[in-house]
Amino acid sequence: MSKIRLNEEQKKDFYRDGYVIARGYFTAEEMNKLQEKAFNDETLYDRAWHKKDGSGAVSKVCLWQKTGDDLYSMFSRSRRLIDSCEDLMGEEAYHTSTKMMMKEPFVGGAWEWHQDFGYWHRDNLMLYPKAISCMVAINRATVKNGCLQVLKGSHHLGRLDHSKTGDQKGADMKFVNEAMKYHELINVELEPGDVLFFHCNLLHKSNQNKSDEPRWSMISAYNAMSNQPFEENESVYYPLDRVDDDAIINWPNI
């Protein structure tokens, strides 16, 4: 069991709002290590998808399902993420994917309004919205460099219909526009090491990065064991061996 996990007040915030920000969840030393690795990792660029928004601007995304013994996996396998997700779900969880979001200065594209469950239920054949994403801020996320925006409490709406917008899948804007009348729009500004835990039905988006600063984040997603795909598909379950809180600092000597 991790010594670092969400407290009772943070859990209440998550259930009410569909998200919670855990400030300083990872230390400066841990984030320096991740920054050095990620910003110098040419394989991320080689493997990245280029996703266009509705105006044609591009964001880069590198995604993988299987965890290993690399530094990125020390985060996605960390007890402090998994234990807290299990607390929120009320049951055992497993890792579905980790992705590196690379929104570059001046050119990083927007992400349209969507719910992750809006396409996970079809692409990953999830029957229930029992999945949670954990966004780790690698560098500062601000309004200027296109931080995430969420509609507070919008996970209570249930799943909305989604359709293609550019290279992305976006929620039906007729319902999003109506939801914006009742749900406060929050700019999720983060410092390196902050973690945003958010429900798979929470409506979220981000604007283009028009600043001179990059906006990188790593998002690990976890699904309830009882919510595994109900048919065989491309989503493969891999056993998840969680690591203790000191694994990041001790890597690669774990």
Instruction: Please check the confidence at residue 171 and state whether its pLDDT lies above 80.
Output: yes
Q: Give the C-alpha separation, 215 to 211, whole Å.
A: 9
Chain segment 95-104, per-residue pLDDT in tens:
999 999 998 8
The pLDDT mean for the chain works out to: 92
pLDDT over threshold 70, residue 11: yes
Tell whether the model's pLDDT for residue 77 goes beyond 90: yes
Cα–Cα distance measured from residue 112 to residue 110, given in angstroms and rounded to the nearest whole number = 6
Distance, CA of 52 to CA of 153 (rounded, Å): 28
- Contact at 8 Å (CB) between 127 and 121? yes
Query: Strands, E, within the chain: which ranges?
Result: 19-22, 49-52, 58-64, 93-103, 111-114, 131-137, 148-151, 162-165, 168-171, 185-188, 195-199, 204-206, 215-224
User: Taking 70 as the threshold, does the pLDDT of residue 42 lie above it?
Assistant: yes
- Give the end-to-end CA distance of the chain in Å, rounded to a whole number: 17
Per-residue pLDDT tens for 198-248? 999 999 999 888 899 989 999 999 999 999 998 877 777 777 899 999 999
Sign of CA dihedral 10, 13, 14, 18: negative
Token pair listed for 125? 């054949």
Domain ranges (residues) in the chain:
8-229
Domain 8-229, CATH homologous superfamily name and number: q2cbj1_9rhob like domain (2.60.120.620)
Question: DSSP assignment, residue 159?
Answer: P
